[in-house]
Amino acid sequence: MAEVYFGNTKAAEMCASQDNYSSAYVGSKAFISCPTGYTGFIYRNCVSTPTGNQLEEEEDNQCTLLPPIAVVYGINNQVTIIYQKEQSFEPTVSGSVESYSVAPELPADLTLDPTTGVISGALQSTQTGNKYTITATNSAGSLQTEISLTSIVVNCEATAEYLATNHGEYSVAVCPEYYTGYAMARCMGGEFEEPSLEHCTPRLSGFFTYGVSSIVLKTNQELIPISLLTDGAFPSISCNKDLPEGLVLGEDGTISGTPTVPSPAAEYEITGTNSAESKSVTISITVEDNGCEALDEFPAAMNGATSEAAVCPEGYSGMATRECVNGVFQPINYEGCTLLAPSSFSYSPVSMSRESLEAIRIEPSVSNKVDVFSCPSLPSGLQLLDNGVIAGSIKEADTYIFTVTASNDAGSAQATVTITVTPIGCSGVEGISLADGERYEEPCPENYHGVAYRTCSNGELSILKMDECVLDLPTNLDYKEKEIVVTTNVNYEGLSAMYNGTVESFTISPDLPEGMGIASDSGAIYGTSATALNRTEFVVTASNSAGSANVTIFLTVEVPHCPAMADFPRTAASEAIRTIARRSLATRE
């Protein structure tokens, strides 16, 4: 049974075959067949993701368990068993099996494993095609298989050690080395069992020795194994007392190991025993300490021990150690050394006087290690170097008191320094030499009275200061033309005012006729008046920050006139026309 999907979808909208699943269109399902013993399919959805089309991890398992399909033992369920030989027979299974059973029961010396179906054991009875039914079962059902058991007898073929021998019979063999007599091995199911040494007797040994009578060892140095030399066989090897700690006696009498504790010379009796005799040998073993001789400040130490000495680095207290290993001191271990906080911290000199910008250098003195020197209030112009030296120069005159802190992980110490900075004079600046605070004076600029001055402040000559110069009042204010006569509708441009001193602005009172004005910077009268004005007095005021000065002028604005002629006086233009008209009429009459 299978699901089939139809559609008209672009190839790009498919999931490729993955993990043995079929390819599938997006939105449909890919499938894979169920495992052996099951019917149906397992499905996974094909989906579109930002990284491409792929199968979801979740599986839809639509598999149905089938009863066991086939169970086979031996060759086509014909099982041949070698008589009296331990054997096992595993079934070849198709499908899923949860348990096995057999009927009738197997011979007494054979068993059926109910979980694996394995038949095992050493058959002790004759089987000649005897039939047995094996039932394999799972939750879906069961399957019965009939098997046939036949037993055979297998003899042993000749080997290098044994002659050809019938099943169940014995073959005579040579005893092991150092034995006399004969051994016997039984043939079982075509294979010889381990030989019996019942008739083998150990022969007497001619020698039993280590080749040396004494050995001297060093602690923690491995002993090259010492073998027991003998021409006999001794199943049991023993020592009359424990060997030095770290040494062992092997089953064959070999002495080996690494001694760990010094021990004085002692006799050790090694005894070998068999059924025929007992042999002994004595060996003297001494274990000396592989210690270290005194080295520099470190006293001598036993092997594995630690020597102490007061050799901590400068700025540390405590004891350093060195371990003695096989006669050699290891590198110094400073873990027992404790860091000391800085102490006896001071500067030399602790107090000093310097002129402004004069070079300063103060050296520190401190005991123990310093990781960091710090001073948050160091005067401007000075530097605190990594080694604690204070260097630089200070410009501003004053007395400076500041504290420097020397620190490490164990603590800190402080030192206070006082520096008095005195001001310096001005020498040869623009040809002027003054002591600090002195003043140089010169006249104020033109139109000012008082004094201008420059001061010396700590070597710096100030700019010329004018704050004591007072502006003079304007004087001699006048106009070259004080009687001004202008004609209506005719532009007038007068001359500027004359004066001594500085004028910041000119004003006039009362106001000039409409169309006329006064220049605020020069005092010039200008403009055009459309209206006649009889001779009028005006006051011009010239002002600066010190005060003002006044001058009086007169202004007349006339209408246009005809000049006087033989029979006519000077006459305004409109009046002249009327006079001419009257005279012309009189002449006609």
| Percent residues over pLDDT 90 in the chain | 77
Q: What pLDDT, on the 0 to 100 scale, is given for residue 573?
A: 66
Identify whether the C-beta of residue 53 lies closer than 8 Å to the C-beta of residue 18: no
**pLDDT reading at 1 higher than 50:** no
Write the DSSP symbol of residue 35. P
Instruction: Tell me the C-alpha distance between 518 and 553, whole Å.
Output: 12
Give the tens place of pLDDT for each residue, 10-54: 555 899 998 999 999 999 999 999 998 899 999 999 999 888 899
Q: What pLDDT, on the 0 to 100 scale, is given for residue 360?
A: 96
**pLDDT reading at 94 higher than 60:** yes
Where are the extended beta strands (E) located within 227-262?
A: 229-230, 236-239, 247-249, 255-257
Specify the DSSP element, H or E, that contains 120: strand 119-122
Q: What pLDDT, on the 0 to 100 scale, is given for residue 12?
A: 57
Q: For residue 388, give Cα distances in angstroms to 226, 315, 352, 406.
A: 67, 16, 17, 8
Half-sphere exposure of 538 (CA within 13 A, CB side): 28
Instruction: Tell me the C-alpha distance between 48 and 76, whole Å.
Output: 52
**pLDDT reading at 376 higher than 60:** yes
Give the tens place of pLDDT for each residue, 407-461: 999 999 999 999 999 999 988 777 888 999 899 999 999 889 999 999 999 988 8
Question: Residue 406, class by beta-carbon neighbours within 10 Å (0-12 exposed, 13-18 middle, 19+ buried)?
Answer: buried
Question: Quick one: average pLDDT of 49-62?
Answer: 91
Q: What pLDDT, on the 0 to 100 scale, is given for residue 575?
A: 63
Helix (H, G, I), strand (E, B) or coil at 176: coil
Specify the DSSP element, H or E, that contains 329: strand 328-329
Instruction: Tell me the C-alpha distance between 351 and 408, whole Å.
Output: 26
Identify whether the C-beta of residue 364 lies closer than 8 Å to the C-beta of residue 406: yes
Specify the DSSP element, H or E, that contains 440: strand 439-443
Identify whether the C-beta of residue 287 lies closer than 8 Å to the C-beta of residue 261: yes
pTM above 0.85, yes or no: no
Instruction: Tell me the C-alpha distance between 405 and 362, whole Å.
Output: 15
Residue the block writes with tokens 């003899």: 155
Give the tens place of pLDDT for each residue, 524-569: 999 999 999 999 999 999 999 889 999 999 999 999 877 777 777 7
| Token pair recorded at residue 411 | 């603590």
Instruction: Tell me the C-alpha distance between 294 and 26, whole Å.
Output: 84
**pLDDT reading at 108 higher than 90:** no
Give the tens place of pLDDT for each residue, 154-193: 999 999 989 999 998 999 989 888 888 999 999 998 999 9
| Chain-centroid distance, C-alpha 46 | 43
Instruction: Tell me the C-alpha distance between 233 and 239, whole Å.
Output: 17
Question: For residue 389, what are the β-bridge partners?
Answer: none
Instruction: Tell me the C-alpha distance between 551 and 427, whole Å.
Output: 51
Q: For residue 254, give Cα distances in angstroms to 219, 226, 230, 272, 284.
A: 19, 6, 11, 12, 15
Work out the widest C-alpha separation in the chain, in whole angstroms.
207
| Chain-centroid distance, C-alpha 157 | 74
**pLDDT reading at 204 higher than 90:** no
Instruction: Tell me the C-alpha distance between 113 and 134, whole Å.
Output: 11
Instruction: Tell me the C-alpha distance between 35 and 51, whole Å.
Output: 31
Instruction: Tell me the C-alpha distance between 291 and 352, whole Å.
Output: 60
Q: What pLDDT, on the 0 to 100 scale, is given for residue 581?
A: 47
Identify whether the C-beta of residue 55 lies closer than 8 Å to the C-beta of residue 18: yes
Identify whether the C-beta of residue 470 lies closer than 8 Å to the C-beta of residue 447: no
**pLDDT reading at 212 higher than 80:** yes
Where are the extended beta strands (E) located within 19-109?
A: 24-25, 29-33, 38-39, 41-49, 52-55, 60-61, 64-65, 70-72, 78-82, 86-89, 92-94, 99-103
| Token pair recorded at residue 192 | 């010889």
Identify whether the C-beta of residue 6 lies closer than 8 Å to the C-beta of residue 18: no
Residue the block writes with tokens 């006082």: 418
Give the tens place of pLDDT for each residue, 291-325: 999 999 999 998 889 999 999 998 999 999 999 98
Instruction: Tell me the C-alpha distance between 118 and 294, whole Å.
Output: 73
Specify the DSSP element, H or E, that contains 578: helix 573-588
Ordered domains of the chain (ranges, CATH): 11-65 (4.10.1240), 70-152 (2.60.40.10), 208-288 (2.60.40.10), 291-339 (4.10.1240), 343-422 (2.60.40.10), 426-471 (no CATH), 475-558 (2.60.40.10)
Residue 271 corresponds to which amino acid? T
Write the DSSP symbol of residue 13. G
Cβ atoms < 10 Å from Cβ of 551: 18
User: 220 falls in which pLDDT band (50, 70, 90)?
Assistant: confident
